[in-house]
């Protein structure tokens, strides 16, 4: 068959949002191509959890139970074998560092074309094409594939479908790992998170920049984020200055996010920051400079001193929530 193979990352008995977006996108495009999307899961995944990917549109899930989780090369071995055996034309990944690494390895192994940071997948003349923003997101380049194509999404670029009650067939696969794939071992799993909160999955982000004035200024963002039930993000300027952890950095050299609300306090709106947050549903900016570039792409702009506005906002949110 032709078809699309997608990798689904799980942790603690659940798939991450980004993977479910990738699985849903693979199913949507497979249906347009008139073919099927299948998923690969690695390690300790119950029958039920594996089959539940059918809720997002894949018809078959290949499970490699004995393969170590969290490392790229063993997954490359599994996906390369499944693609060769089953004849998939494309592999698709939701994005994230592991997806980048597996996708790149798979492209090299299969001599396939590869596109990273993809924000849109289309079907043209019975084949997939992938759109990727370039030049600081000011233009779009479109990739077409001569034979096989590996498509790696930008983090959270693909939306997870509304789950149905369909289930997928689960097929266990035995894969002999390459020698070099067994050289690295997972010693410990940890997650670098801003203040231990998953900023990529958060619906609300309160982001702070140099306008906070000093590291302690982040307390204002943390209080507001807590009141709103969101997480805290940061610009590179403050991360470089050591005011906040790198895990919270948004932008070209940080994370890409698309929350429902992105509230930017004391952030100028440099292009390198904008590319990481411009897909947010609602952007609210607080800046004392009415000419700050961030106002050009904000849905709501508040000109004023964040030291006065943010605490008042926090109080208002708490009062509204009755806490």
Ligand X SMILES: Cc1cc2nc3c(=O)[nH]c(=O)nc-3n(C[C@H](O)[C@H](O)[C@H](O)COP(=O)(O)OP(=O)(O)OC[C@H]3O[C@@H](n4cnc5c(N)ncnc54)[C@H](O)[C@@H]3O)c2cc1C
Closest by alpha carbon to 259, among 276, 282, 275? Answer: 282
Question: How far is CA 175 from each of CA 63, 64, 67, 267, rounded to the nearest angstrom?
Answer: 10, 7, 8, 49
Q: Which is closer to ligand X, CB of 27 or CB of 202?
A: 202
Which pair of structure tokens corresponds to residue 206? 């309160």
- Diameter over CA atoms, the chain: 63
Contacts to ligand X from residues 276-295, by CB under 6 A: 276, 286-289, 292
Q: Among 156, 249, 280, 314, which residue sits at the site for ligand X (rule: CB under 6 A)?
A: 249
Is residue 273 within the footprint of ligand X (CB under 6 A)? yes
Closest by alpha carbon to 113, among 66, 152, 68? Answer: 152
**What is the C-alpha to C-alpha distance for residues 233 and 253, in angstroms, rounded to an integer?**
14
Minimal distance, residue 217 CB to ligand X, in Å: 9
Ranges assigned E (strand) in 14-160: 14-15, 36-42, 60-64, 90-93, 113-118, 120-124, 127-134, 139-144, 149-153
Q: Among 210, 226, 231, 233, which residue sits at the site for ligand X (rule: CB under 6 A)?
A: 210
Strands 10-11 and 14-15: antiparallel
**Among the residue ranges 74-82, 220-228, 252-260, 312-320, the one whose residues contact ligand X (CB under 6 A):** 252-260
Q: Among 236, 244, 257, 298, which residue sits at the site for ligand X (rule: CB under 6 A)?
A: 236
Minimal distance, residue 140 CB to ligand X, in Å: 20
Q: Which is closer to ligand X, CB of 61 or CB of 238?
A: 238
**Among the residue ranges 12-20, 60-68, 138-146, 261-269, the one whose residues contact ligand X (CB under 6 A):** 261-269
Is residue 133 within the footprint of ligand X (CB under 6 A)? no
Is residue 302 within the footprint of ligand X (CB under 6 A)? no
**What is the C-alpha to C-alpha distance for residues 23 and 224, in angstroms, rounded to an integer?**
34
**Among the residue ranges 36-44, 89-97, 183-191, 300-308, the one whose residues contact ligand X (CB under 6 A):** 300-308
Determine contact, residues 220/212, Cβ cutoff 8 Å: yes
Is residue 317 within the footprint of ligand X (CB under 6 A)? no
Please report, as ranges, the residues that interact with ligand X according to CB under 6 A. 209-211, 235-238, 249-254, 266-268, 270, 272-273, 276, 286-289, 292, 305-307
């Amino acid at each position: 068959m032709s078809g699309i193979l997608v990798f689904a990352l799980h942790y603690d008995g659940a798939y991450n949002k980004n993977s479910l977006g990738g699985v849903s996108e693979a199913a949507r495009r497979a249906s347009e191509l008139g073919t099927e999307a299948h998923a690969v899961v690695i390690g300790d995944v119950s029958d039920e959890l594996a089959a539940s990917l059918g809720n997002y549109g894949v018809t078959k899930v290949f499970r490699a139970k004995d393969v170590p989780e969290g490392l790229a090369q063993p997954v490359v071995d599994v996906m390369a074998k499944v693609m060769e055996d089953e004849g998939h034309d494309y592999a698709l990944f939701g994005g994230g560092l592991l997806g980048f690494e597996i996708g790149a390895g798979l492209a090299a192994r299969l001599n396939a074309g590869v596109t990273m940071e993809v924000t849109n997948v289309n079907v043209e003349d019975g084949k997939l094409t992938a759109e990727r923003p370039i030049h600081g997101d000011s233009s779009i380049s479109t990739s077409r594939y001569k034979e096989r194509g590996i498509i790696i999404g930008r983090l959270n670029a693909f939306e997870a479908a509304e789950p149905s009650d369909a289930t997928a067939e689960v097929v266990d696969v035995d894969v002999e790992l390459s020698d070099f794939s067994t050289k690295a071992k997972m010693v410990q799993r940890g997650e670098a998170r801003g203040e231990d909160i998953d900023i990529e999955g958060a619906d609300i982000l309160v982001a702070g920049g140099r306008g906070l004035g000093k590291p302690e200024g982040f307390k204002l963002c943390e209080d507001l984020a807590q009141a709103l039930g969101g997480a805290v993000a940061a610009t590179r300027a403050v991360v470089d200055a050591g005011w906040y952890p790198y895990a919270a950095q948004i932008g070209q050299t940080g994370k890409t996010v698309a929350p429902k609300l992105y509230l930017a306090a004391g952030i100028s709106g440099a292009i390198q920051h904008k590319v990481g947050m411009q897909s947010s549903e609602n952007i609210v900016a607080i800046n004392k400079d009415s000419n700050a570039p961030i106002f050009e792409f904000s849905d709501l702009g508040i000109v004023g001193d964040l030291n006065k506005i943010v605490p008042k906002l926090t109080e208002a949110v708490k009062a509204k929530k009755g806490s």
